[in-house]
Structure formats: C-alpha cells, structure tokens
Chain A
C-alpha cells in the first residue's frame, strides 16, 4: 500500500513511514511522539484530536495521514514560541479554563483557528464555533471567557 514519508509538523519536516490510510492522530502520537493531541472518541465528535492543516481545524482521528501530506500541520506543541506561550494558552491559564485538562489541547487548537478567522468573536460566536469540542468537566463558560480574553489582548 502507498505510504507517506514526510510530514510538515510545526514548521519541521518529519520523516515518517506510515501507510496512507492511517489516521493522522495515530501517526502524530505513536510515530512522532506528539502526544499533546488526544484521542477522545475516534468519530470526530469530541474535538480532543483537533489540529490545524494549513490553519484549518481538522479532527485528526478521522483524517487519513495522506490528507495531511504536503500541508502545514500545527499541533498544540507548535503554539509555544521560544518559551513564550500563545496568548490563548496564557488566557486558559489565567482564567483557569480546565479541570482535568484532557480536552484543553483540542480546545486551544479550535480556539486558535476561530481567532484567526474572527479576531473579535462574541460569546455566542465562540460557543457556535466550538460546539464540536467536548469538555466533560464542564468548563465551557471559562473556555469562552479565555477565548474572549485572548481576543481582547490581540493587537487589532
């Protein structure tokens, strides 16, 4: 079967040897040890596995790795720049927008993509855009607050 040999992850070209129908999630986690991206449901329903492909959010658990080849893949590990957190990561910390933290990487990736599309979203727009991400601990109001805080701090 055809295999994928190269992936652009967080600005680095990674050598892999993955059959093309494997999930992007499995290649990121098992082959590249990028375990910040989580398995939650395997059916694209919970958003824990969200990564960006050329800036667009995808559910990596149902995305074949072949779809990611040749695109810029951004995972939670790629947001921190030279030791500085992304403003949305900072906002999550400041608001305390998590409990167990398992959904947090997917939430931050979905939020990052939303803020790129819509730099000043309303609370309703945030809720709508992130409807596909589940936080079972129920920290949704805090996540909305964190996204809004990050939006306010972005240079407009």
Chain B
C-alpha cells in the first residue's frame, strides 16, 4: 500500500488544509486519537479526506465507479457528516498513487464497509473543524456549530477554507467516532441524482477507451485459434516492414503496435503463426464433465441428519438443475493504456474493479516495485464482476515497453466474448423430504462447479447438507454479478416450488410455513402483496411465479407473471421487494434493482455461451442475445427501508430472484418444469 506516501505528498497533491485518515483495522486504534503525525501513515488506512484552504472537500477511496453509482452514494455519506452541500464534495477514486489501498470493488462491499469508513473520516473532519474554530476564536468547542458548509459560534462565522488557511494538519481518527444515525439523515437517504450526470449525457466523460496520450500507438494481440494453443512457429517479417509497426513475442504472446488502429489490424493480419491445439471438452458433455471431475466438497451450513430427515418425510423429491456459461458483456470492452517514463515507471489507465490488484500483477510481470506502477481507473463502462483481471493491462504495458511509446489496447467485442472469463456453468442436485402438512424435513443440496454463493438457506430446515463441489471448467470462469447466487437460488426456489405443487399447497404459503426469519418473511410478504398474489387466477396461457432469497446482506423476493405462446415465454410483469438495511439513495437503489432484473432476463431466457473443442461458437452480439427494449416487462420495485439496520450493498443480490420466479410462472402456465438456465436451451 501507499505507506511511502508521506504527509508532504498529501499537501503537494492536495494543497494545504486538514487530512483525516481513517484506520481500517482495530490494531490502529491503539495509535489513533487526535494528534498530528509528521511521518508515514500507518499501514492500514481505508479512506481519507482532505479539506483544502479553498474549502474544497476531497474524499479519497480506492473503490472504482462502474455504474453502481457509488461516486454519488459515498459523496452523500461525506456531505451528511460534514454538513455541507453535496456539490462541494469531490470524490477521488481508484488511483493507486492518490487513494488508499483497496482490495477491489466487488462483493457489494462499498456500502457496508467503505461508506462507514469514509463517513467516519468526514465526521472526524467536522470535529477537527470545530477544534480549529474553538482554538482560533478562543470559544468553548461546545458552542461551535457546523452547518451548510459554514462554521459558526457566538459572534464568529467562517467558511471551511477560511479556517483551513495555512493549516497542514494530519489526523488519524478514532474508529469509534460517532456517526449520524440513519433516522436523522438529511442528504444520505435521499434520491439525489448521479453527481456528474451531465458529463454522461453530453459525451464529455472520458472513459479509458476515450483516452489518448501523446505519441500513443494502438496495440493488437494475435489471438490463438483455440484455448490452450501453443505457438509452434512465428514470422513477423512482413509486419515489421510496415511503417511505425512494433511487434512483440513473449512465449505464446504475440502482439503488434502501430500508429493507428487500422494499421495495427493490418499488421496483426500480416503475422504468420502456426499453433498446436489440443482436443478439449465440448458443450454436449459439459455437465457430465463437471460431475466426473468434482473434487471433495466444501460443507456450508449443514446440520442435523439427512437420514433422519428423510425418514420423517411423507414425500421425497430428487432433481437436478443446470446453468450455462454466460458472458458479462460490459458495453465498454476491456481496455488499457500503458505508458513508461524514462525512469522506468509505469502508468496504466484501465477499466478495472481491482486497481491495486492490477498494480501488483504489473509489478510482478515486469519485476519492478509497486511504487513504480500507477494504475488509474476512470469511471468505467460497467463491469458486473467481469473486470477483475490484469491481462489487458499487461498486454498494453508489454507493447508500450517494446515500442518505447504509450500504447492502447482495446479489446474487440469478439475478444471480449472469447478471451475474458465467464460466469461458471454448473450442475445442482437437490434431494429433499417433506411432511404431508408442508414442513420440509430434509434438504440435501450439492452444487458442482458453479460456486457456493447463496447456497445458504433462510428456510427453517433442521436436517440439511449444503455442499459445494469444485470441479474442472473447460472454459475460463470467474466472478459475475451475484456470483453463483443466481444458480443456487434458481435451483432452490424451483425445487421449493416443485415441493409446493407436489403437496398442492400455495407456493407462498408453503414458503411461509417453513420460514421463521423475520426479514425474509417481510420482503416475501411485501412482494406478494404488491403483486396481488393469490388475488386472482392467471389468464389462459399465463402463469404466476414467486421466489425469495438472501445474499450479501440483502433480502429479496420476486413475483413474476409470464405468458407462454408457442413455447416461447414473454415476461409480462415483475414485482421485486428488496431490503438492504437503511436505504442510502432510494432512486439509485431502484435503478440497481430494475437493472438487475433486466440483466437477469438474459440469463433466465436466452443468454448462453456455446463452445466446442476450445472455441467459442457465438462470440458476437448478433449470435449472443442480451436483453433489449422489447424484452422488458412492467417492473415494480418495493424498497423495504430499515433505518434501524446498517446499509448493505445492493448491486448484486436483486439479480437472483428473477429466474426462479419466471420458471415457476412458466410451470403454472404450461405444466412444463424448467430446470435448465437458460430456458431456451
């Protein structure tokens, strides 16, 4: 981390004023307190905040903005605690030289972990302002008030900048500093618009794709014909003849850089390469492959005895569910611009969720210290869990080093589909037992390959075994919005629906019968009430479905109405209730829920990566369908705002409810059970 960034760096980067450092770990509490420090910062700092002598408030975080609108929600947190208008907050994000170390922007962690830290820094800054004012005006600090960006006491009045003039103060704060309770929020908790929205509607916002450096070249990588291919022979003579072209070969990595993107394309086409490929598993054998290559499972949340539970059951059900590989398809493809200085320092601008991870990977790749690598992330054209890795940054940096000039590598859509990683496919097997009165007595749940997220149940089932079995994946796989929670919720909530139908009990009533968790019950009832569950029968060819779940601190329940014509489903209406503690920005929360529902439609109905023997067969948008305007149903969101509970993240969990709700609705409409995602497969 930036332990080398000293107090002097702060003030040279940000100007005079006060810097408030927020210690992330309890070990730092021992050295916290109101005192200035002249030397290096402690090793674990999660956020910091600077108030300049012009009154500007700059809050710094290593998190990245990828469309989830945390630039806005974090600014709201700062404005709330500092008692200043939102517009006076500047958020500096995801720049490894200027912001604190952060593991990465994933797992819906910004709101539950980063927001409280940055909020503490702001609260401490407010108290520091009070101290400065009390000492300057020689008044009792109890009489000093901070409101609307001004500090006042009897007969005194000053803006932040005026108080800061000439100050160079660094404070490490007490992690226990008191925060404003959600019930008293005035700026947080409000639907303020995206803070820099105007730059997005005018095209001014500069994504990494839009960046141009002086003398910048355009890079292009020669991609092998199949995964795992080895380069046998290589000839770059023709490409090297082209004006301004640099070629690089490093092991199986072959690439070119050229003065413009068309020349780069021509140069890469002029490379002669022979590859050796190996036979690899294809789509048709995928699910058997997962089972055959499964490793010993990791037990999650098991208890009681499956044998005993099954012995108590009047009915038993065993079913298998599958999910396909799907792609993130961020509209801004992976891109990096790399530039080496004369001193051998590397700067990389890139769209990533892990700026510090990319920095570490670059340092390792080139054998240089992390202090000599700077990664800068512009607010990025979405990620959805897809931008965790460093390969495009490394590609650009290798080319830039060879060419001695800055190089941009922007992946094409086809590269994106082929060389990025995918949401894991998987098989889920469930065996369950249920009494005639509707009480579930046994729950034996096994996920092969797709992942453990969201396997845990909120149902009250004493005899349960819940196991994730890692396996080998023929395709490269990685994180995706909600991880495996979508797959696990799909399997579980479909299976629950099957049990309810087997017992002829209403699916809502069946869930409630097996559910004690009050928060889960509350969202389930909220969604059902808004939907009008049980109020009327579905029209001919239509069906209603319901699902619920819990993941990453958020409770979700989804109801769907679907019509099926000629076997083709059309989602008519979706109601989703969501509870993630105290709501930080109601409109942006609704936006995330709506967006997650729309994205989930793709994975539920038609998204699927097809592959054969190490090749992706549909690596383009004309052959990989994503949701479009015409696929969107009426969407209603119900926000269950719990001001008494800490805020949890909301970018992921709202995606998990749609597929099972729609599949269950399709069953009601047609009598045909959907056990494979996507339903068109």
Binding site for B on A (CB under 8 A): 19, 22, 26, 29-30, 33-43, 45-46, 48, 75-77, 79-80, 85, 89, 92-94, 96, 98-105, 108, 126-128, 130-144
B518 interface residue, CB < 8 Å from A?
no
Q: Is the CB of B203 within 8 A of A105?
A: yes
**Across the two chains, which residue of chain A brings its CB closest to B262?**
A22
Residues of B within 8 A of A100 (CB): 66-67, 330-332, 379-382
CA distance A67 to B462 in the complex (A): 69
Majority secondary structure, A binding face: loop
B494 interface residue, CB < 8 Å from A?
no
Task: Answer whether A108 and B201 are a contact pair too, CB < 8 Å, given A33-B212, A96-B194, A101-B67.
Answer: yes
**Across the two chains, which residue of chain B brings its CB closest to A45?**
B621
Contact of B332 among A26, A29, A102 (CB under 8 A): A102
Contact of A136 among B260, B599, B630 (CB under 8 A): B599
Contact of B621 among A34, A43, A108 (CB under 8 A): A43
Residues of A within 8 A of B206 (CB): 35
B597 interface residue, CB < 8 Å from A?
yes
B202 interface residue, CB < 8 Å from A?
yes
Q: Is the CB of B193 within 8 A of A85?
A: no
Q: Is the CB of B201 within 8 A of A103?
A: no
Q: Is the CB of A142 within 8 A of B332?
A: no
Task: Answer whether A131 and B67 are a contact pair too, CB < 8 Å, given A35-B210, A99-B595.
Answer: no
CA distance A142 to B593 in the complex (A): 12
Q: Is the CB of B599 within 8 A of A138?
A: yes
Q: Is the CB of B620 within 8 A of A41?
A: yes
CB distance from B604 to the nearest CB of A (A): 13
Contact of B588 among A33, A96, A101, A138 (CB under 8 A): A96
Q: Is the CB of A48 within 8 A of B331?
A: yes
CB distance from A70 to the nearest CB of B (A): 22
Tell me how many residue pairs across A and B have CB atoms closer than 8 Å. 168
Majority secondary structure, B binding face: loop
**Across the two chains, which residue of chain A brings its CB closest to B66?**
A100
Q: Is the CB of A93 within 8 A of B381?
A: no
Residues of A within 8 A of B630 (CB): 127-128, 131
Residues of B within 8 A of A45 (CB): 620-622
Q: Is the CB of A76 within 8 A of B595?
A: no
Residues of B within 8 A of A99 (CB): 67-69, 382, 591-592, 595
Contact of A139 among B261, B591, B621, B622 (CB under 8 A): B591
CA distance A137 to B331 in the complex (A): 9
Q: Is the CB of B597 within 8 A of A138?
A: yes
Q: Is the CB of B209 within 8 A of A38?
A: yes
B300 interface residue, CB < 8 Å from A?
no
Q: Is the CB of A38 within 8 A of B202?
A: no
A-B contact pairs, 18 of them (CB 8 A): A35-B203, A38-B332, A38-B381, A39-B410, A40-B413, A89-B201, A93-B193, A94-B193, A100-B66, A101-B205, A104-B201, A136-B382, A138-B597, A139-B594, A140-B628, A140-B629, A140-B632, A144-B629
Task: Answer whether A131 and B628 are a contact pair too, CB < 8 Å, given A93-B197, A100-B332, A137-B67.
Answer: yes
Residues of B within 8 A of A98 (CB): 67, 194, 197, 200-201
What would 8 more interface pairs be, CB under 8 Å, given A43-B413, A43-B621, A138-B598?
Answer: A33-B212, A36-B203, A85-B198, A92-B197, A96-B197, A101-B381, A134-B331, A139-B598
